[in-house]
Chain A
Amino acid sequence: DTAVSQTPKYLVTQMGNDKSIKCEQNLGHDTMYWYKQDSKKFLKIMFSYNNKELIINETVPNRFSPKSPDKAHLNLHINSLELGDSAVYFCASSIGGAGRPQHFGDGTRLSIL
Protein backbone atom coordinates (compact mmCIF):
# COMPACT_ATOMS: atom_id res chain seq x y z
CA ASP A 1 0.00 0.00 0.00
CA THR A 2 2.99 2.26 -0.65
CA ALA A 3 1.84 5.68 -1.85
CA VAL A 4 4.83 6.74 -3.99
CA SER A 5 7.22 3.98 -4.92
CA GLN A 6 10.53 4.21 -6.76
CA THR A 7 12.69 1.50 -8.24
CA PRO A 8 15.46 0.72 -7.88
CA LYS A 9 16.36 1.87 -4.38
CA TYR A 10 20.05 1.73 -5.22
CA LEU A 11 21.70 2.07 -8.62
CA VAL A 12 25.43 1.72 -9.16
CA THR A 13 26.72 2.16 -12.69
CA GLN A 14 29.62 3.40 -14.73
CA MET A 15 30.16 6.80 -16.26
CA GLY A 16 28.75 7.08 -19.77
CA ASN A 17 25.94 4.57 -19.28
CA ASP A 18 22.23 5.28 -19.77
CA LYS A 19 19.86 4.41 -16.95
CA SER A 20 16.23 4.83 -15.91
CA ILE A 21 14.54 5.22 -12.56
CA LYS A 22 10.87 4.33 -12.28
CA CYS A 23 8.23 6.03 -10.16
CA GLU A 24 4.66 5.06 -9.52
CA GLN A 25 2.01 6.61 -7.30
CA ASN A 26 -1.30 5.09 -6.25
CA LEU A 27 -2.74 8.22 -4.68
CA GLY A 28 -4.73 9.31 -7.69
CA HIS A 29 -2.63 12.47 -7.95
CA ASP A 30 -2.39 14.32 -11.21
CA THR A 31 1.00 15.97 -10.84
CA MET A 32 4.36 14.27 -10.37
CA TYR A 33 7.83 15.61 -9.72
CA TRP A 34 11.49 14.67 -9.66
CA TYR A 35 13.93 16.17 -7.18
CA LYS A 36 17.68 15.74 -6.76
CA GLN A 37 19.30 15.64 -3.32
CA ASP A 38 23.05 16.16 -3.35
CA SER A 39 25.67 14.94 -0.88
CA LYS A 40 25.03 17.94 1.35
CA LYS A 41 21.32 17.03 1.54
CA PHE A 42 20.29 20.01 -0.55
CA LEU A 43 17.05 19.28 -2.47
CA LYS A 44 16.27 20.86 -5.80
CA ILE A 45 13.34 20.48 -8.16
CA MET A 46 14.19 18.99 -11.55
CA PHE A 47 10.81 18.53 -13.24
CA SER A 48 7.14 18.75 -12.62
CA TYR A 49 4.60 17.11 -14.89
CA ASN A 50 0.88 16.74 -15.19
CA ASN A 51 -1.14 15.51 -18.11
CA LYS A 52 -1.00 18.95 -19.65
CA GLU A 53 2.39 20.37 -19.04
CA LEU A 54 6.01 19.49 -18.40
CA ILE A 55 7.96 22.15 -16.55
CA ILE A 56 11.69 21.82 -16.53
CA ASN A 57 14.11 23.51 -14.17
CA GLU A 58 16.45 25.39 -16.46
CA THR A 59 19.52 24.10 -14.61
CA VAL A 60 18.81 20.45 -15.46
CA PRO A 61 21.00 19.11 -18.30
CA ASN A 62 19.12 17.78 -21.31
CA ARG A 63 20.68 14.36 -20.62
CA PHE A 64 17.82 14.02 -18.13
CA SER A 65 14.38 13.34 -19.53
CA PRO A 66 11.16 12.44 -17.75
CA LYS A 67 8.77 10.05 -19.42
CA SER A 68 5.17 9.53 -18.34
CA PRO A 69 3.34 6.51 -19.81
CA ASP A 70 0.25 7.39 -17.77
CA LYS A 71 -0.90 9.60 -14.90
CA ALA A 72 0.36 7.20 -12.25
CA HIS A 73 3.92 6.97 -13.55
CA LEU A 74 6.78 9.37 -14.16
CA ASN A 75 10.06 7.71 -15.02
CA LEU A 76 13.41 9.47 -15.17
CA HIS A 77 15.80 8.58 -17.95
CA ILE A 78 19.40 9.70 -17.81
CA ASN A 79 21.79 9.52 -20.77
CA SER A 80 25.58 9.52 -20.67
CA LEU A 81 25.86 9.48 -16.90
CA GLU A 82 28.52 11.70 -15.32
CA LEU A 83 30.23 11.60 -11.94
CA GLY A 84 28.29 14.69 -10.86
CA ASP A 85 25.02 12.85 -11.33
CA SER A 86 25.71 10.85 -8.16
CA ALA A 87 22.91 11.82 -5.78
CA VAL A 88 19.63 10.65 -4.32
CA TYR A 89 16.69 11.20 -6.66
CA PHE A 90 13.24 11.60 -5.20
CA CYS A 91 9.95 11.26 -6.94
CA ALA A 92 6.91 13.07 -5.52
CA SER A 93 3.29 13.58 -6.38
CA SER A 94 0.46 15.93 -5.50
CA ILE A 95 -3.06 16.73 -6.52
CA GLY A 96 -3.96 19.97 -8.17
CA GLY A 97 -0.42 21.15 -8.84
CA ALA A 98 0.94 24.32 -7.35
CA GLY A 99 0.83 24.71 -3.59
CA ARG A 100 -0.67 21.35 -2.69
CA PRO A 101 1.28 19.06 -0.32
CA GLN A 102 3.65 16.76 -2.12
CA HIS A 103 4.17 13.16 -1.07
CA PHE A 104 7.61 11.71 -1.62
CA GLY A 105 8.98 8.31 -2.46
CA ASP A 106 11.88 6.78 -0.51
CA GLY A 107 14.45 7.88 -3.07
CA THR A 108 16.88 6.19 -5.44
CA ARG A 109 20.54 6.44 -4.52
CA LEU A 110 22.54 6.71 -7.75
CA SER A 111 26.28 6.15 -7.59
CA ILE A 112 28.48 6.66 -10.62
CA LEU A 113 31.80 4.82 -10.74
Chain B
Amino acid sequence: GEDVEQSLFLSVREGDSSVINCTYTDSSSTYLYWYKQEPGAGLQLLTYIFSNMDMKQDQRLTVLLNKKDKHLSLRIADTQTGDSAIYFCAEKGGGGADGLTFGKGTHLIIQP
Protein backbone atom coordinates (compact mmCIF):
# COMPACT_ATOMS: atom_id res chain seq x y z
CA GLY B 1 0.00 0.00 0.00
CA GLU B 2 0.89 3.65 0.01
CA ASP B 3 3.56 4.83 2.39
CA VAL B 4 4.85 8.26 3.41
CA GLU B 5 8.13 8.61 5.29
CA GLN B 6 9.55 11.53 7.25
CA SER B 7 12.31 12.03 9.79
CA LEU B 8 10.88 12.27 13.29
CA PHE B 9 12.89 15.26 14.51
CA LEU B 10 14.61 18.34 13.13
CA SER B 11 16.45 20.88 15.26
CA VAL B 12 17.41 24.32 13.88
CA ARG B 13 18.58 27.62 15.25
CA GLU B 14 16.21 30.55 15.27
CA GLY B 15 16.72 32.60 12.12
CA ASP B 16 18.10 29.70 10.07
CA SER B 17 16.19 27.88 7.35
CA SER B 18 14.45 24.59 8.15
CA VAL B 19 14.13 21.90 5.52
CA ILE B 20 11.73 19.06 6.23
CA ASN B 21 11.90 16.11 3.86
CA CYS B 22 9.35 13.51 2.87
CA THR B 23 9.32 10.51 0.56
CA TYR B 24 6.25 8.71 -0.72
CA THR B 25 5.59 5.57 -2.69
CA ASP B 26 2.33 6.18 -4.55
CA SER B 27 3.30 7.20 -8.07
CA SER B 28 -0.31 8.13 -8.85
CA SER B 29 -0.43 10.92 -6.24
CA THR B 30 -2.05 14.01 -7.68
CA TYR B 31 -1.70 16.36 -4.73
CA LEU B 32 0.83 16.47 -1.92
CA TYR B 33 0.30 18.43 1.26
CA TRP B 34 2.03 19.91 4.26
CA TYR B 35 0.11 20.28 7.50
CA LYS B 36 1.25 21.87 10.76
CA GLN B 37 0.13 20.73 14.19
CA GLU B 38 0.93 22.80 17.27
CA PRO B 39 0.72 21.17 20.73
CA GLY B 40 -2.85 20.33 21.67
CA ALA B 41 -4.20 21.81 18.46
CA GLY B 42 -5.68 20.58 15.22
CA LEU B 43 -4.10 20.27 11.81
CA GLN B 44 -3.49 23.45 9.88
CA LEU B 45 -3.12 23.18 6.11
CA LEU B 46 0.09 25.04 5.28
CA THR B 47 0.42 24.48 1.59
CA TYR B 48 -0.05 21.90 -1.12
CA ILE B 49 1.37 21.21 -4.54
CA PHE B 50 -0.08 19.59 -7.60
CA SER B 51 2.01 16.77 -9.01
CA ASN B 52 2.69 18.53 -12.33
CA MET B 53 4.53 21.31 -10.48
CA ASP B 54 8.05 21.11 -9.13
CA MET B 55 8.07 24.16 -6.90
CA LYS B 56 5.65 26.38 -5.05
CA GLN B 57 6.51 29.39 -2.92
CA ASP B 58 4.29 31.12 -0.40
CA GLN B 59 5.97 33.81 1.72
CA ARG B 60 8.48 32.00 3.97
CA LEU B 61 7.46 28.56 2.71
CA THR B 62 8.94 26.84 -0.32
CA VAL B 63 7.80 23.41 -1.44
CA LEU B 64 9.96 21.37 -3.79
CA LEU B 65 8.69 18.24 -5.52
CA ASN B 66 10.88 15.70 -7.29
CA LYS B 67 8.31 13.42 -8.83
CA LYS B 68 10.89 11.07 -10.31
CA ASP B 69 12.38 10.36 -6.88
CA LYS B 70 9.01 10.74 -5.10
CA HIS B 71 10.58 13.29 -2.78
CA LEU B 72 8.86 16.32 -1.29
CA SER B 73 10.43 19.00 0.89
CA LEU B 74 9.24 21.99 2.84
CA ARG B 75 11.65 24.85 3.44
CA ILE B 76 10.83 27.43 6.08
CA ALA B 77 12.95 30.54 5.76
CA ASP B 78 13.99 32.57 8.82
CA THR B 79 12.64 30.01 11.28
CA GLN B 80 10.95 31.54 14.31
CA THR B 81 9.96 30.11 17.70
CA GLY B 82 6.35 30.14 16.54
CA ASP B 83 7.27 27.60 13.87
CA SER B 84 7.86 25.00 16.57
CA ALA B 85 5.33 22.25 15.79
CA ILE B 86 4.88 18.87 14.13
CA TYR B 87 4.86 19.01 10.34
CA PHE B 88 3.01 16.31 8.46
CA CYS B 89 3.54 15.40 4.85
CA ALA B 90 0.48 13.81 3.23
CA GLU B 91 -0.65 12.50 -0.10
CA LYS B 92 -3.92 11.34 -1.48
CA GLY B 93 -4.15 7.70 -0.46
CA GLY B 94 -5.67 5.10 -2.68
CA GLY B 95 -6.43 2.65 0.05
CA GLY B 96 -9.72 1.53 1.44
CA ALA B 97 -10.94 5.06 2.18
CA ASP B 98 -10.78 8.19 0.11
CA GLY B 99 -8.59 10.07 2.55
CA LEU B 100 -5.04 11.29 2.92
CA THR B 101 -2.08 9.10 3.78
CA PHE B 102 0.07 10.90 6.33
CA GLY B 103 3.68 10.56 7.30
CA LYS B 104 4.42 10.18 11.00
CA GLY B 105 5.28 13.85 11.32
CA THR B 106 8.51 15.76 11.87
CA HIS B 107 8.92 17.54 15.19
CA LEU B 108 10.58 20.88 14.44
CA ILE B 109 12.60 22.10 17.43
CA ILE B 110 13.84 25.67 17.48
CA GLN B 111 17.01 26.49 19.37
CA PRO B 112 17.40 30.09 20.61
- List the interface of chain A (C-beta within 8 A of B): 31, 33, 35, 40-48, 55-59, 90, 92, 97-107
Partner of B30, one of A41, A46, A99: A99
Does B102 make an interface contact (CB < 8 A)?
A: yes
Which partner residue on chain B sits nearest A42 by CB separation? B104
> Chain B contact residues (Cβ within 8 angstroms of A): what range?
20 to 34
Contact assessment for A47 and B104 in the assembled complex, using a CB-CB cutoff below 8 Å: no
Contact assessment for B104 and A41 in the assembled complex, using a CB-CB cutoff below 8 Å: yes
* A90–B86 CA distance with the chains assembled, in angstroms: 16
* A13–B86 CA distance with the chains assembled, in angstroms: 28
* A33–B100 CA distance with the chains assembled, in angstroms: 10
Partner of B97, one of A46, A99, A102, A107: A46
Contact assessment for B31 and A104 in the assembled complex, using a CB-CB cutoff below 8 Å: no
Q: Chain B interface secondary structure, helix, strand, loop or mixed?
A: strand
* A47–B97 CA distance with the chains assembled, in angstroms: 6
Contact assessment for B92 and A42 in the assembled complex, using a CB-CB cutoff below 8 Å: no
Contact assessment for B31 and A105 in the assembled complex, using a CB-CB cutoff below 8 Å: no
In the complex with contacts A99-B30, A101-B48, A107-B42, A45-B100 CB distance below 8 A? yes
* In the A-B complex, the 4 residue pairs with the closest CB atoms: A45-B99, A106-B42, A104-B43, A48-B98
Contact assessment for A101 and B33 in the assembled complex, using a CB-CB cutoff below 8 Å: yes
* A44–B20 CA distance with the chains assembled, in angstroms: 21
Partner of B42, one of A33, A46, A59, A104: A104
Partner of B41, one of A45, A56, A101, A106: A106
Which partner residue on chain A sits nearest B32 by CB separation? A99
Nearest chain A CB to B13's CB is how many angstroms away? 24
Nearest chain B CB to A2's CB is how many angstroms away? 10
